[in-house]
Amino acid sequence: MNDGPKVLLVEDDAGLASMLRELLLGEGYEVVLAADGQRALHEGLSQHFDLLLMDRGLPAIEGLDVLGRLRNKGISTPALILSALSNPADRVEGLDRGAEDYLGKPFDIDELLARLRSLLRRHSTHADAVPVPGGMLDINGRTVTLGSGAEVVLSERESGLLAHLGRRPRQIFTREALRTAVFPDADDDGVVDTYVHYLRKKLGRTSVLTVRGMGYRLGELR
């Protein structure tokens, strides 16, 4: 199984998409391919990615609209727009609407790969800090710093659960999905309920919200 950086590749040109996919796989990336904006939105909301590599002129939903919707859902995955629309006004629009980088077609393969590596490096400097409502979670230090300046110390598993919820602040997770992602050594979904209880005790009852019949999502810290 590929354990390299995970890329959502959004490209409707089948030939180019296939070439890019093979290129990225050869560089050690894990690649999920979406051929239209609707599929890209679905994948972006349902999976965690390290990078987004997106065309603009997509069927169903235009590329920048997809990116805007992801940003509105709190998804901050760094995005590189790869588009034939590459004059200065187009690049400015792409950057203003949430992209971290913009590269025109046709492009140089070495430059594309270098830009992706740069995005990964820049993003990794912030990867250990996850914003949560009312504060910031330091994953390595396992502490939440509240707006008041107070710090709350978490256990490793509490921190892991809060980080997973915080990376998708608007997403509802089933108990099974949380157990698989955060507690892979556990046999029972009840472990999720236990650690939700611990987080609520430390951070307030609304820190993790129960969505009846569906699961849990990030709430608000006290």
Question: Bigger pLDDT: 21 or 140?
Answer: 21
Q: What is the pLDDT of residue 124?
A: 61
Q: What is the pLDDT of residue 47?
A: 83
Which phi and psi angles does 77 have, rounded to 5°? -50, 130
Give percent of the chain with pLDDT exceeding 90.
55
Q: In what order do the strands lie in the sheet with 30-34?
A: 30-34, 6-10, 51-54, 79-83, 101-104
Q: Which residues, in sequence order, are bridge partners of residue 107?
A: none
Triad 28, 30, 31: Cα angle to 5°? 125
CA-nearest of 218, 177, 210, 211 to 74 is 218
User: Residue 211 above 70 pLDDT?
Assistant: yes
CA-nearest of 13, 11, 1, 83 to 43 is 11
Dihedral sign computed on CA atoms, order 173, 175, 176, 181: positive
Q: What pTM did the predictor assign?
A: 0.60
Report the pLDDT averaged over residues 120-124: 74
Q: What tokens appear for 98 in the block?
A: 């949430």
Instruction: Report the CATH number of the 129-218 domain.
Output: 1.10.10.10
Q: What is the pLDDT of residue 1?
A: 46
Residue whose token pair is 């915080």: 166
Exposed e or buried b for every residue in 18-28, given b needs 16+ CB within 10 A?
eebbeebeeee
**197-210 pLDDT tens trace:** 999 999 999 999 99
User: Residue 120 above 90 pLDDT?
Assistant: no
* Range with the poorest average pLDDT among 18-27, 83-92, 125-134, 140-149: 125-134
Q: What is the pLDDT of residue 3?
A: 60
Q: Where are the domains of the chain?
A: 6-124, 129-218
Per-residue CA distances from 54 to 47, 83, 220 (Å):
16, 8, 32
**154-171 pLDDT tens trace:** 999 999 999 888 877 778
Q: Which residues, in sequence order, are bridge partners of residue 34?
A: 10
Q: What is the pLDDT of residue 208?
A: 94
User: Residue 101 above 50 pLDDT?
Assistant: yes
The answer for residues whose C-beta is within 8 angstroms of residue 42's C-beta and 6 or more apart is 34
* Cα(150)–Cα(57) distance, integer angstroms: 47
The answer for residues whose C-beta is within 8 angstroms of residue 150's C-beta and 6 or more apart is none
DSSP secondary structure string for all residues of 129-142: EEEETTEEEETTTT
Q: Name the class of domain 6-124.
A: alpha beta
**45-88 pLDDT tens trace:** 888 888 999 999 999 899 999 998 888 776 778 899 999 888 88
Mean pLDDT (the chain, rounded): 88
